[in-house]
Chain A
Amino acid sequence: MNTDPLWFIFLSSCIISNFVLAYFLGICPFLGVSGKLDTASRMGVAVTFVLFISSACACGIHSLLVHFDALYLQLIAYIAVIASSVQLVEMFMKKFSPALFRALGIYLPLITTNCCILAVALFQTSREYSFVQSLVFAVGGGLGFTLALIIMAGLRENLDLADVPRLIRGVALALMVGGILSMAFMGFAGLGGNF
C-alpha cells in the first residue's frame, strides 16, 4: 500500500513529473494539436475526463485480476477496457450532454491511442495506489497534460509569426520549444519528485 498524501500525489503528477515533459507520454497530441490555443484546451479537458474514467476502471480490473490470480492478462484487459470505455463515454455524452460532446468533437476517439491513458493505469498499479489516490493521480496528470498543452499552444501561436528557417519549421521547431519547456519544468524537481 502506498502512503503518499493526496496533495503530494496531485502536485507530483501535475507539475513535478509532468506526463508530457518528464515522462514523454502523450507526445503525439502534444505536438499534433498544440497549434491553436482553443483546440489545445479542449483536448486537455477531454484527456483529463477520460483519464478519470479509465483510472477508476483500471482500479476495478486490477482487484478483479488479483482475485482470479490472472495478472498476466493485465495489459490485455486494460487496453480492451480503456478502448471500450472511451467509446462508451462518447455514446453516453452524445445522448446526455450534446453540448459537451460537440465541444470535444473529434478529440474523444483520438484519445484511445494516447499513451498517457494506459500509462496512468499501469503506474497506479505498480505504485499500489488506493482507489482515491488513483483518481487524484489521474486528475493531476490530466491537468498537467492540459497545462503543458496550453503553454505549448501559446508559444506556437507566437512562433507562427516569427521568421524561422524553412528546414527547421514544423515538428523540429516544436521539439526544440518542448525541450526548453521541459527544462523549465525541471526547476520544479526541487519540490521533491519520485523519479
Chain B
Amino acid sequence: MVEGQGLEGKTTANLETFLNGLWKENPVLVTILGMCPTLAVSNSVINAFSMGVATTFVLVMSNFLISLIRNLVPKQVRMATFIMIIATFVTVAEYVIQAISIEIHRSLGAFISLIVVNCIILGRAEAFASKNRVIPSILDGFGSGFGFTLAICCMGAIREVLGSGAFAGVDLFGPHYEPWVVMILPSGGFFIFGLLLLFSNWLNQRLKRKGA
C-alpha cells in the first residue's frame, strides 16, 4: 500500500484484499490449494464448519504474527520460521477444539494437526503477510479463511444432504429416503469437488463474458 493515500483509498484497498480471498482468488476454488482437508473432512456440515473456523483462526493469527516480525526474520530461515509459527497456532487450535467438544475433535482426527501442511496458510504467509503491514495481513487472513470456509461448507452441505439425507444432523427427508452412501465415502468427495469446480469455472466464465 502506498503511503499518503487518503483514508478512503485505504479502506477500499483493505476491503478489496478481503473480498479477493473470498471469491476472486478463493483459495480452494480458484487457486486449488488446501485440497486435502477440503476433501477429507467435508462429509458433514458440522465437520466442515469446524475445520473452516479452525483454519481461519490459524490463518489470521499466523498472518498477524508473521506480518509483525517480517522485517526481523532473515530471508534464509523464513520458511522454517513460518512453519514453526503455524505449528504453534495449530497446536493451540487443537487443544481448544478438544476442550470445546471432544466429539468434533474425534471426528476431525489427525486433520486438525494436518492444518500445518495446508498449503493455503503457508501460501498466504509467503505471498502476502511477509510483504504487507499488519492490518491488511489480518484482513487477508480473514478473507482467505472465509473463502475456505465457504467452499468447504458448500461441499459439506451437498455431501451430507445426499449421503445421509440430513443437514447438520437434522433429518430432512424422513425415513423413506435411501441415503446415497457413496457421497459421504471418499469417492463422493472427489466427484462433488469436481462438480463444484466445474460450476465455479462456468460461473466465472459467464461473469467475464457479461463484463466484456
Contacts and interface: CB of A to CB of B under 8 A. Distances in A.
B107 interface: no
Interface size class of B (residues with CB under 8 A): 35 or more
B201 A179 contact: no
A118 interface: yes
B32 interface: yes
A114, A167, A182: most-surrounded residue (chain B CB, <10 A): A182
A172 interface: yes
Contacts of A183: 182, 187
Interface stretch (A71-79, A88-96, A132-140): A71-79
Contact of B114 (A31, A118, A168, A180): A118
Interface string A142-169: 0000000000000000000000000110
Given A25-B36, A80-B84, A119 B190 contact: no
B187 A179 contact: yes
Given A122-B110, A168-B198, A24 B36 contact: yes
Nearest to B80: A83
Given A75-B90, A123-B110, A172-B198, A118 B186 contact: no
Interface stretch (B10-18, B45-53, B116-124, B161-169): B116-124
B194 A173 contact: yes
Interface string A111-124: 00111011100110
> DSSP class of A's interface residues: helix, strand, loop or mixed?
helix
Interface of A: 21-28, 31, 72, 75-76, 79-80, 83, 113-115, 117-119, 122-123, 126, 167-168, 171-173, 175-176, 178-180, 182-183, 186
B186 A24 contact: yes
A175 B197 contact: yes
A76 B186 contact: no
A171 B197 CA distance: 8
A72 B119 contact: no
B190 A115 contact: no
25 contacts: A24-B186, A27-B35, A28-B33, A31-B32, A72-B91, A75-B90, A75-B94, A76-B84, A79-B83, A80-B83, A115-B114, A118-B113, A118-B117, A126-B110, A167-B201, A167-B202, A168-B198, A171-B194, A171-B197, A172-B194, A172-B201, A175-B193, A175-B194, A178-B194, A179-B190
Contacts of A173: 194
Contact of B186 (A80, A122, A186): A186
Contacts of B205: 167
B199 to A, nearest CB: 9
A109 B143 CA distance: 29
